[in-house]
Amino acid sequence: MPMESTEIERLILDAFPGASVEITDLAGDGDHFAATVVAEAFRGMNRVQQQRAVYAALKGRMGGELHALALTTRAPD
């Protein structure tokens, strides 16, 4: 069963309180999403570390309930 965008957002916000999270359903099928996450917690991390942190926040759902997630991550300006 596909994940809802609100569930993706909730998991990310649980891991990164105060983050700005924008989720887009790319194909309208509930399986292919893009997420932009801006979080202070990313400061000092490179992009790979940031994206690994987001995938960890999804608690193993990548590749199962969540088929594809294109990530854009950064620390606030």
pLDDT for 55-65, tens place per residue?
Answer: 999 998 888 88
Across residues 24-33, what is the average pLDDT? Answer: 87
Domains by residue range for the chain, with CATH: 5-74 (3.30.300.90)
36-72 per-position pLDDT tens digit:
999 999 999 999 999 999 999 999 888 888 888 999 9
- b or e along 38-73 (b: 16 or more beta carbons within 10 Å of the residue's beta carbon)? bbeebeebeeeebbebbbebbeebeeebbbebebeb
Please tell me the distance from the alpha carbon of residue 41 to that of residue 44, in angstroms, as a whole number: 8
